[in-house]
Amino acid sequence: MKRRHILTSAGAVPLLLVGCASPPTATRWYELKSEPPEAVPTTRPGDGAVWELSGRLALPGTLERDTLVVARGVAGVVPLAGHRWVVPLRDSMPVRLAADLALLRGEGLVWLSPAPTGVVVARRLRVAIDTLVADEARQTLSLRARWWFTDAAASATTPPTTGSANIDIALPDRSADALAAAHRMALWRLAQRIAGTP
């Protein structure tokens, strides 16, 4: 009798542990919204040159993940478990950046590579994102980017026109939703910087 009681109790332990295990956290999904996060300013008259943005942005390894990440400590980067991008940033960022630039420059003046047949491209644009990460301690999302234009008609020896931007977006709170929204704002601000270059 005592032996049966011991076996029964031993058999109950695994069941008890399974019952106490916390259920898996539901995944929360985030996206870079198609609409810009601020009012679109009046399109400035420009030179009318058609730009073609490369469909592949150079990104740091932290942005190649599908999970939202934050910086922690001196050199640490921590993925936020259960918080994921619907579309990976490597795919959504070029699309959103091209659309933002088109809003700022004017319809038909910015295309994502490859430009449609019949469109005469004057300048090709490439963008490299060096940093796009939130610092939990400072509650700031920092974007560091570089870009360069090449003249579609120029020779291979013509040097490109370059630019760079350091953009900081304040986070209103520590939520993943605020973090995702800050990514969209940072991209919009980058488009404004690029559109303002000669």
pLDDT in tens, 121-180: 999 999 999 999 998 778 999 999 999 999 988 766 778 899 999 999 999 998 999 999
Instruction: State pLDDT tens for residues 3-18.
Output: 555 444 444 444 433 4
| pLDDT band at 198; cut points 50, 70, 90 | very low
Distance, in Å, from the CA atom of 76 to the CA atom of 118, rounded to the nearest integer, reads 48
Which H or E element spans position 134? strand 123-135
pLDDT at residue 13, rounded to an integer: 43
- Higher pLDDT pick, 19 / 192: 192
Q: How far is CA 96 from CA 14, 24, 33, 34, in A?
A: 50, 32, 8, 7
- Asked if 197 and 127 count as a contact pair (C-beta separation under 8 A), the reply is no
Burial category of 8 from C-beta neighbours within 10 Å (exposed 0-12, middle 13-18, buried 19 and up): exposed
In the chain the first and final C-alpha atoms are separated, in Å, by 90
In the chain, what are the domain boundaries? 31-195
Burial category of 195 from C-beta neighbours within 10 Å (exposed 0-12, middle 13-18, buried 19 and up): buried
Does pTM top 0.75 for this prediction? yes
Q: Which CATH class is domain 31-195?
A: alpha beta
